[in-house]
Structures are given as C-alpha cells and as structure tokens.
Copies of this chain bind each other. A is one copy, B any other.
C-alpha cells in the first residue's frame, strides 16, 4: 500500500504575473456547483449566451465566435490549423516569445513560414509588413497584439489593411488584451482573433475565446485539404456551439458556467469602463515603479496596460527577489521569457487582480526588498 497523498495546499497567491489572474468571488462560487451534461438544454442556453457576450467583448458581429476547449495556446493552434494548408505562404511578425510560438505552430502544420523578425520589445510597423509581403506574398499573416513576453501593445489596423489589399487574412493574438485593452475585431478588421480566459477576463484557464470573420470563414470553407486536427477543428466546434448542437466533446460545464459569469461581470461593468479601469491602475503602477527607481522596459506609447515589464536593476538577483515576493508576501510576479530571461520582470494587472490594494502591496514589497 502506497502512502496516502495528503490534501493539496492552495497557497492563495496574490497573482500579479502574466496570468493566470485572480478570479472574482462570484466566479469562484459558480465553480463550486455540480457539473451538468454537455447536451443539457440549460448548458446549451448558457453556451449561447457566452457567444453573445464574447461578441460584445471582441466587439464583433462574427457568427463564428465561441470558446475553444483548451488554453490560449489551443486557441492559437485553432487559428493556425484551420486557416493554414500545407505549403501555404505565411508571414509571422516576431517581436517576442508568442510570435515565435505562432511561427512554430505554422511550421508544424506545414506552412511555408517567413518570419518578420525584429528585436524583442519593439513593434512591427505596417511598412515592414508591406515590404515583407512585396518580397514574398503571404496568404496568412499573424501578429501578436499583446506580446506577453515583452509587454508591448502592437497596433493592428494598418497591418490589417495591408494584408487585405493583398487578399490575405490577418490572425491576431489577443491573449493578454481581451477584456482589459481594446481589441475591436470588427473596427480593426481582424480576420481571426483568439484569446484566453485567465487574464483580463478574470476566469480560470481552460476555455479560450476565438472569433472568425467572413474572410477567415471563407478560407476555412474552401479548404482543399481537411483540417489536420479533430479536437481543434473549428467547423466541428461550431456545429456543437451553434444551433445544431451536434456532440463534439464533453464540455466542462464547470468552466462554461465560470466563463459565463465572468463575462456577465464585464457586461455589467461595461467594456469601456473596464478598459479604463485597467489603464488607470496600470498608470498608477507605472508611476509607482518609476518612483522607486525602476525603469520600465517599453516606451509609454506602446506599453501594454495589462502587463507591465520592468528592467531588473543591475546587481539585483532576479530569482531571489521573486522568491522573496512569493515566500514572504505571497505575491506572484514573473521573470522574463526566452531572450529576456534575467533582464525583466513581468507584472500583470488583469481582471480581478487589477486592484489598488495589490498595486500598493507590490510597490511597498519592492521598496523593502530592493533596499540596498
């Protein structure tokens, strides 16, 4: 007989990293209810309302708007695998870790990938996309609106215009923006936009919003080769979410109810009020960080309100400070990813984590720990 595994301890962190964020108690309450069946009429009603609420948050009329049964990276792969066919010329803008991930997925699915590479922390300029497409046309272009690895907010509208002039489609990653930073799928003419639940939407991870516009739907419907994924096949997913309600997977009603409640909170607050609130709190954090002598990694013009990146001062040990934040104050922030490892910290103020008391606590803990 093996030893009995003891009950797991939940340390109830103050989550100020790049996600997951903390969850509104209203959402926690919903999570603790019994599951119901994946074809229960009540669940199908809830899913239908989620589609309505997601359209509101994405600011789109796109019929094909739903939540993929996986995390943000599953939604990224859903965008890629449904739009790309083997040997398709694809252009991916890479200025951080998640641009790289998108390029990697496109390669896995057989695309002929061109990478528009710039230093991490910069943005991709429309003229650079135009030049890259002139050199080698692409059917599909992918960019990251909110690059979680650098804290940069990438403008997307002008890039969309350029891509559309060449009859391509634009995929936009809004994993760290949706619900806290304007995404505006229709206004910005984004063809495929995906996100996650555990950041600005304020929900646990596991269900990831995605929306396909008319150009993207056309590309999916006119594919010569079948989609190289069963689980992430958007047409199968839509047949389950849509009025036909054809069984695909066993939806986690637990997560479905949680997403519904977190989207309801956003609707009650109003999306633009929520975006303002995220921005106001970010500005307070930025000011506070600068006041204690820390230097922000991204110029204000392209700074993401939901995720702030700050340079680790010289002679300060990255891991030791984060360990002390975690062990002494129960605060999670995150280190740099990839080539920014050891160079920056990443501080998220998203969803229910974006609160004055958290900003105050973090700043005062930093003051304490960075005293020299």
Cβ-defined partner of A37 (8 Å) among B5, B232, B253, B332? B332
Cβ-defined partner of A71 (8 Å) among B10, B19, B46, B250? B250
**Given known contacts A8-B46, A72-B250, is B32 in contact with A31 (CB within 8 Å)?**
yes
- Is A247's CB within 8 Å of the partner chain B? yes
A260 to B8, CA, bound (A): 8
- Tell me which residues across on chain B come within 8 A of A253, comparing CB atoms: 20, 204-205
Cβ-defined partner of A264 (8 Å) among B4, B71, B198? B4
- CB pair B248–A73 under 8 Å, yes or no, is yes
- Tell me which residues across on chain B come within 8 A of A129, comparing CB atoms: none
User: What is the CB-to-nearest-CB distance from A106 to chain B, in angstroms, rounded to a whole number?
Assistant: 10
- CB pair A10–B36 under 8 Å, yes or no, is yes
- Is A229's CB within 8 Å of the partner chain B? yes
- Tell me which residues across on chain B come within 8 A of A4, comparing CB atoms: 264, 267-268
A2 to B57, CA, bound (A): 12
Identity of the chain B residue whose Cβ is nearest the Cβ of A71 in the assembled complex: B249
**Given known contacts A10-B33, A70-B231, is B5 in contact with A252 (CB within 8 Å)?**
no
- Is A206's CB within 8 Å of the partner chain B? yes
Q: For the complex formed by this chain, how many copies does it contain in all?
A: 2
A105 to B236, CA, bound (A): 13
- CB pair A205–B35 under 8 Å, yes or no, is yes
User: What is the CB-to-nearest-CB distance from A249 to chain B, in angstroms, rounded to a whole number?
Assistant: 4
- CB pair A33–B37 under 8 Å, yes or no, is no
- CB pair A10–B31 under 8 Å, yes or no, is no
User: What is the CB-to-nearest-CB distance from A359 to chain B, in angstroms, rounded to a whole number?
Assistant: 18
- CB pair A104–B230 under 8 Å, yes or no, is yes
Contacting residues of chain A (26-81) with chain B, CB-CB under 8 angstroms: 28-38, 40-42, 45-46, 49, 52-53, 56, 69-74, 77
